[in-house]
Amino acid sequence: MDDFSDFVKAVWDDCNISGSSNFVLAKKLNLLKSKLKVWNRNVFGHLDTKLGDLVKKVKVLDAKEQLQSLSQALSQRLWKLRKRFL
């Protein structure tokens, strides 16, 4: 969370906008909004895609588990994926 707070503070402090207080606030908020969109993509990526990939991995391991007994390593991997997903 400190990275986020530091990011917001840096963007806010780097803005050199003059005018009425309402104008300055509106411009700073618009700039922060655009910078946050980029920051969010860089930090979190596309969560829908990542979630879809995790669901596919869990389904593949579930199918393997039904067909045969999983090795201990695969069982642990499946458990970690389920924990992360659920």
Q: Which residue has the tokens 């700039």?
A: 31
Question: pLDDT-derived band of residue 86, with 50, 70 and 90 as boundaries?
Answer: low
39 touches 7 (CB < 8 A): yes
Q: Express each pLDDT in 5-14 by its tens digit.
A: 999 999 999 9
pLDDT tens-digit readout, 44-81: 888 888 888 888 988 888 887 776 766 777 778 878 88
Separation of CA 40 from chain center: 7
- Residue 74 token pair: 């695969």
31 or 2, which is more confident: 31
Helices (H) and strands (E) in the chain — how many of each?
A: 4, 0
Cα gap 63→58, rounded to integer Å? 9
Is the distance from CB of 17 to CB of 41 less than 8 angstroms?
no
Q: Find the mean pLDDT for residues 20-47.
A: 91
